[in-house]
Amino acid sequence: MLLEGKRVLVTGVLTDQSIAFSVARCAQEQGAEIVLTSFGRAMSLTKRVARRLPTQPDVLELDVADPSHLQAVGAELERRWGRLDGVLHAIGFAPEACLGGDFLRAGWEDVATAVHVSAYSLKALAEMALPLMKGAGSPEGRGGGSIVGLDFDATVAWPAYDWMGVAKAALESTARYLARDLGPVGVRVNLVAAGPLRTVAAKSIAGFEKFEDAWVARAPLGWSITDPDPVARACVALLSDWFPATTGEIIHVDGGYHAIGA
């Protein structure tokens, strides 16, 4: 029961194949009370899949690029819980022109959307959560909590990933600066760099399958492209109190692929 008594906001649940869905399920199994977010046409999908969790959570509307939505969610969490112990950032989007292998095709407007939704949104979520996290934390009264984001290793150029790779690099840098500024109030900010998984988002990227076979072959521990549970467990561990002195970190959950050369 790593998260017993914890209250956690989980973004990014779209289907039961979503990494965020596995995180939500694992968090509940470990004792957390959770709320999901979604928006627009995806709201109905999120509400439907929420019924498949051990305990059906509420779904709040949140377009992370809309300040009024962030303000409304913060106010609702304040009314509902009065504090927040953890946030899962599982948000990423890039227009079609930003993906697929033709890096030069995308214009600034599309790139700006990718960076805003996929990277700046981590800062926006943290800013919303911070007042609620200052009221959480230890019995001694020190505020605190954990913000965990989902990453895909941005240290190299991947087939087809293009500007989403740039956005992930921005996400990694954003997490480090947030770790610097939120550490003094006890809020940890970490990322989990997952190996490739066949989520709805991954399936939408033309050419994403090019390195799936290579990943399975090269990862020392092996890798299942259909099993998000190892990633979910890492996220839940980081959301818990078992990493009290870890922040600004990127934890690779990829079967060890990142450590192996050609």
> Which member of 120, 168, 177, 257 is catalytic?
168
Burial of 41 (0-12, 13-18, 19+ CB in 10 A): exposed
**SS3 label, residue 61:** strand
> Which member of 161, 177, 203, 210 is catalytic?
161
- The span from the CA of 92 to the CA of 102, in Å, is 19
- The span from the CA of 251 to the CA of 194, in Å, is 8
CB proximity list for 152: less than 8 A, separation 6 or greater? 158, 161, 164, 165, 168, 193, 194, 196
The structure tokens listed for 89 are 């950032």
Nearest to 8, CA basis, from 194, 237, 253: 237
Exposure class string for 89-109: b at 16+ Cβ within 10 A, else e:
bbbbbbbebbbbeeeeebeee
Active site residue 168: yes
The set of catalytic residues is 161, 168
